[in-house]
Amino acid sequence: MGRRRRRGGGARVGALPEAIAALSQTLPAGPSPEIFRRAKFDRPEAAPALWQLLFRVLSPPAAAGTRASPALGAQVRLVKSALCSQGYPRRVLARLPEDGSQGSRELLLALAWLLARGPLLEHLLAQTRVWLGDEIPLWQYEALASPGPPAPCQEADGPVDIRHLQWLMGTLRFRWRDLITSQQELCALLGKIHSYTRGCHSDRGLGHLSVAETELLRDPEGGRQLLQRLESENTRLEAALQWRRRELVFWQWMDTVLGSCPLQTSPATFLPRDPASGPGELELVARELRGLHGELQGAVEPRRAAWEAKAGGWGPEWSAAQRATQEAVGRDLAALQRAWEQGGAPAQPHRPCRLVKRDARAVEGPGLRAAELTGALRIRESRLETALGQLQTRCRQELARLAGAEPGLIWILPPGR
């Protein structure tokens, strides 16, 4: 009802620039509203700012923050591959030049698509949140399973020497051990700070200071910087609230942007997260998906047949064996996940927690106990080790079978692990 009224009556003058300004303030490295306006008309000068914005939005937080940002060409490539891996439907974007000079309207559409799909702004705000406590990240199973943007794949020229692979594995192992040692050092030092500052915190429930709070006391300049960061975070949060109030105007405007695009073979429509949108649009999207699926099938089948013909002699037993392996792996994973869930783990919170050192006698109070968490993690660890042991046994049996099959062959195992 409200929507129809607004469509007919015309938006309040200035509502759109305000909405865009709010959006831009909420986003990290948000460009000015003028850039958005120019992007609607596909002006080339708006393109670089939008490429950089998308790069900031799509790259993992550590990469965006600490190191100097890469050259525009590298940013363009990463944005393209990240959008592709998330399933962005418009093919025009993938064909844009890598110098970042064109395509501002396409980029605007891509941004709107990302906003429409999921809680993008909340996600971005959570990434840059200012924490005063010592944070303990709680690894969720789903978080591990969702991959980031894929690294650019390098084709190996010629056969790869296995010794090189072993070298790389060894490097990884050393880095892993270095990481564990650093983690242990971090824990030891955290423990020291927590014990030394016992009784200093004004909040009796917490009892001791965190690292950030200790730094605040030691270094007033750092305190000023922390205050500035909190203030800027506040500004962003207020802008986010403004955006929520005004975003409908933005979506209406985006429809006009989409309308001003040249026609494509498979136009995608944008679905704002407004649940009031009727079933008609859903039906449209569903039909498009089915059509796309059919197209893909048609493209894949001849390619697969050609590859199989080239690989020679593999034929149906190979694909049957492949399918059987995939199903077996799927079953194993599902069994593992069920076992984890049955492990009686305490309900995992959805946000990181503040680490607090408590007296052993203090049992009451909110929050998770470290002992429970470590217990649950140990159960998972033992399940994974069992699974690993079973896989290793299977491997050994297979090797033994192969060794037995060729009596003239001598197998020499590598030294140690």
**Which residues here bind other proteins, judged by CB under 8 A?**
161, 163-164, 166-171, 173-175, 177-178, 180-182, 184-185, 188-189, 412, 414-417
Rounded to a whole number of angstroms, the minimum distance from the CB of residue 63 to other proteins is 18
Match 């949140």 to its residue by tokens: 129
Backbone dihedral angles phi then psi of residue 360, each to the nearest 5 degrees:
-65, -25
- Which structure tokens are listed for 250? 């933005």
- By the 10 Å C-beta count (0-12 exposed, 13-18 middle, 19+ buried), 67 is classed as exposed
Between 131 and 167, name the residue whose CB sits nearer to other proteins. 167
CB of 175 or CB of 369, closer to other proteins = 175
Query: What is the spatial distance between Cα 384 and Cα 362, in angstroms, rounded to a whole number?
Result: 33
Closest CA to 26 of 239, 176, 204, 172: 239
CA distance 210 to 135: 9
CA distances from 292 to 262, 270, 297 (A): 20, 17, 9
Residue from 40, 417, 411, 410 nearest 250 by CA:
40
Which is nearer to other proteins, 220 or 415 (by Cβ)?
415
**Helix, strand, or coil here: 251?**
helix
* Contact predicate 354/134, CB 8 Å: yes
d(CA 58, CA 244): 21
Least spacing, CB of residue 185 vs other proteins, in Å? 3
Residue 358 amino acid letter: R
User: Least separation, in Å, of the C-beta of 416 and other proteins?
Assistant: 4
| Least Å from the CB of residue 182 to other proteins | 7
Smaller CB distance to other proteins: residue 204 or 417?
417
Least distance between other proteins and beta carbon 162 (Å): 8
Closer to other proteins at the Cβ: 91 or 177? 177
Q: Which is nearer to other proteins, 181 or 337 (CB)?
A: 181
Burial call 208-242: b when 16+ CB within 10 Å, e when fewer: bbbbbbbebeeeeeeeeebeeeeeeeeebeebbeb
What are 35's two structure tokens?
């850039």
CB of 157 to other proteins, least distance (A): 12
The token duo for 226 is 């922390």
Residue linked to tokens 């439907």: 89
- Residue entry with tokens 């909340």: 122
Minimum CB distance to other proteins, residue 370 (Å): 21
Q: Which token pair is 163? A: 């010794």
Nearer to other proteins, 13 or 412 (CB): 412
Q: Which is nearer to other proteins, 182 or 260 (CB)?
A: 182
- Minimal distance in Å, beta carbon 140 to other proteins? 25
Rounded Cα distance, 408 and 282, in Å: 65
CB of 369 to other proteins, least distance (A): 26
When the beta carbons of 126 and 169 are compared against other proteins, the nearer one is 169
